């Protein structure tokens, strides 16, 4: 004994009653997959806590901790020293394990949780004992129960005791794979990667669909989307990315459709294509990064015109978000710097000078008849590229 482990506190899962098993299984699966390339770990769950224990010297605990911080379903995580259930050993371990911090701070308190009710001391007694020992060892310290610089936590559990400092906030959400599967339309912009992250946060497995129009859109623009998805997949797990070539379709729309409706027409074709792919991939919904009123194609009327071509639900997790809120999230998931790289998107080529902000459905349907939509869509869907996105080595 005497090794260091990571303790993960489960979130909403704990409330899911009958489904609890499914939730825990999905969570453990996500964790194990992510930890593979950080060394050999045992991952097990007992009473709303997951234990991540290194099984070999070379297992990288720091890396494991970073990975765990991005797993949905976990509300808090902390590295902890595992120690025998012996009060003397516990207090010695507390002094040793937290030495560096204890030397730097001036006040602390000890909090204890005892789930092993057979342990001969009650929580307040354990706290008092450990506190007294730390005061003796570090005479510069004082106890402050209201605003301590550090809370020393002791947990006495069935299998052993643990000592650690404050738990850090986890990724929240619910484990990916428990909320169904959705196809998210992904561009190189700020919004859609954040929307993808938010869908995954609610347990949804993602398939990503990207429309490219080479040579108007470049290889770099495509690569940008791949890099964005890699960031998202640190949270969302493996993502299948499907790239659809929209060049011919866009040229036809540009050449033959009423100019001020071309944006909404393009978006209708995007959703049609996405729905077909989504069905083949076993998805039950689509998702986009739209936010109400952000641009001409994101008015309620324009959204109604695009949604009219699909029967699957289209989720828009950012519909009520301000740009500043989206930016904040993009910093948080580290997609911001990639998103602002200046590459073109198929939505930004051939843009009309005055897109109609309140398109009327039957005019849009009429305007669309100028091209062989069905034929072009079939061709586009015959010409797709697939790749698996996963940020780690294995
Ligand atoms: P984003 O920041 O996500 O690019 P945006 O504010 O630029 O969004 P639009 O370009 O109008 O808005 O796109 C709205 C939504 O349509 C995007 O959030 C995305 O879901 C989808 N979308 C746009 N362009 C593409 C594309 N090339 N491939 C796939 N989906 C796209
Ligand atoms: Mg965009």
Per-domain residue ranges for the chain? 1-84+160-175, 88-151, 181-389
Evaluate whether 1-84+160-175 and 88-151 have a shared fold: yes
The tokens describing 180, both together, are 């169904």
Q: Looking up tokens 């869908």, which residue turns up? A: 199
* Residue 181 Cα to ligand 2 middle (Å): 23
> Is residue 177 within 8 Å of residue 27, measured between CB atoms?
no
Ligand 1 atom 4, closest CA: 189
Gap from CA of 138 to ligand 1 centroid (Å) = 57
The pLDDT, as a whole number, for residue 313 is 98
**89 class by beta-carbon count within 10 Å (0-12 exposed, 13-18 middle, 19+ buried):** middle
Please give the distance, rounded to the nearest whole angstrom, from the Cα atom of residue 345 to the centre of ligand 2: 6
Dump the DSSP string for 288-335: ----TTSSGGGSHHHHHHHHTT--S-EE-TTTT--HHHHHHHHHHTT-
Contacts of 176 (CB under 8 A, 6+ apart): 26, 30, 72, 200, 203, 204, 205, 236, 237
pLDDT at residue 351, rounded to an integer: 86
Rounded to whole angstroms, the Cα distance separating 281 from 245 reads: 18
For residues 263, 267, 270, 275, the Cα torsion angle rounded to the nearest 10 degrees is: -170
pLDDT at 15: 59
What local confidence, expressed as pLDDT, does residue 18 receive? 53
The most distant pair of C-alpha atoms in the chain lies apart, rounded to whole Å, by: 85
Return the ∠ at Cα 20 (arms to 16 and 22), rounded to 5°: 125
Instruction: Please report which ligand is nearest the Cα atom of 351.
Output: 1
CATH topology of domain 1-84+160-175: VC0802-like (3.30.2130)
267 contacts 345 by C-beta, under 8 angstroms: no
CB-side neighbour CA atoms (13 Å) of 340: 7
Strands (E), 11-83: 41-46, 49-54, 74-83
Q: Residue 11: its pLDDT value, please?
A: 80
pLDDT for the residue numbered 346: 80
Question: Closest Cα to residue 224, out of 322, 348, 321?
Answer: 348
- For the structural domain made of 181-389, what CATH number should be given? 3.40.50.620
CA dihedral 220, 242, 381, 266 (to 10 degrees): -60
Q: Which ligand is nearest to the CA of 225?
A: 1
CB 20 within 8 A of CB 45: no
Pick the residue whose CA is nearest to atom 7 on ligand 1. Answer: 189
pLDDT value at position 1? 46
CA dist., res. 6 & res. 76, Å (int): 10
Q: Where does ligand 1 bind, in terms of residues with CB under 6 Å?
A: 185-187, 189-192, 209-211, 270, 288-290, 294-295, 297, 345-347
pLDDT reported for residue 348: 82
Which of 289, 305, 330 is the best mutation target for the ligand 1 pocket, counting ligand atoms within 8 Å of the beta carbon and taking the most? 289
Bridge partner list, 388: 240
Q: Residue 294: its pLDDT value, please?
A: 77
Low-confidence ranges of the chain (pLDDT < 70): 1-2, 13-18
What does the pLDDT read at residue 39? 95
Architecture of domain 88-151: 2-Layer Sandwich (3.30)
CB 232 within 8 A of CB 333: yes
């Amino acid at each position: 004994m005497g090794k260091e482990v990571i303790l993960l506190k489960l979130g909403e899962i704990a409330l899911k009653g009958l489904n609890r098993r499914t939730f825990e299984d999905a969570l453990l699966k996500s964790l194990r997959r992510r930890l593979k390339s950080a060394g050999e770990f045992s991952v097990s769950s007992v009473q709303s806590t997951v234990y991540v224990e290194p099984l070999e010297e070379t297992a990288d605990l720091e890396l494991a901790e970073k990975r765990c911080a991005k797993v949905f379903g976990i509300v808090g995580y902390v590295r902890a020293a595992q120690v025998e259930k012996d009060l003397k050993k516990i207090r010695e371990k507390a002094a040793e394990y937290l030495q560096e911090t204890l030397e730097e701070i001036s006040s602390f308190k000890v909090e204890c949780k005892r789930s092993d009710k057979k342990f001969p001391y009650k929580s307040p007694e354990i706290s008092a004992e450990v506190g007294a020992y730390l005061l003796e060892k570090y005479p510069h310290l004082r106890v402050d129960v209201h605003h301590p610089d550090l809370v020393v936590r002791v947990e006495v559990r069935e299998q052993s005791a643990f000592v650690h400092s404050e738990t850090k906030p986890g990724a929240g959400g619910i484990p990916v794979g428990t909320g169904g599967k959705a196809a998210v339309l992904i561009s190189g912009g700020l919004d859609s990667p954040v929307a993808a992250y938010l869908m995954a946060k609610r347990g949804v497995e993602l398939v990503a669909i990207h429309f490219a129009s080479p040579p108007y859109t470049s290889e770099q623009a495509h690569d940008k989307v791949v890099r964005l998805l890699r960031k998202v997949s640190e949270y969302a797990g493996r993502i299948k990315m499907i790239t659809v070539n929209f060049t011919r379709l866009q040229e036809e729309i540009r050449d033959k459709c009423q100019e001020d409706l071309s944006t909404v027409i393009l978006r209708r074709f995007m959703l049609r294509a996405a729905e077909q792919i989504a069905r083949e991939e076993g998805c039950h919904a689509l998702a986009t990064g739209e936010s109400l009123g952000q641009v001409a194609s994101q008015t309620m009327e324009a959204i109604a015109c695009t949604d009219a071509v699909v029967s699957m639900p289209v989720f828009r997790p950012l519909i009520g978000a301000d740009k500043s809120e989206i930016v904040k999230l993009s910093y948080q998931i580290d997609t911001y710097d990639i998103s602002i790289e200046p590459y073109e998107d198929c939505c930004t080529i051939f843009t009309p000078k005055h897109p109609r902000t309140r398109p009327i459905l039957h005019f849009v349907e009429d305007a669309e008849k100028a091209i062989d939509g069905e034929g072009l869509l079939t061709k586009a869907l015959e010409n797709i590229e697939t790749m698996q996105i996963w940020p780690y080595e294995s």
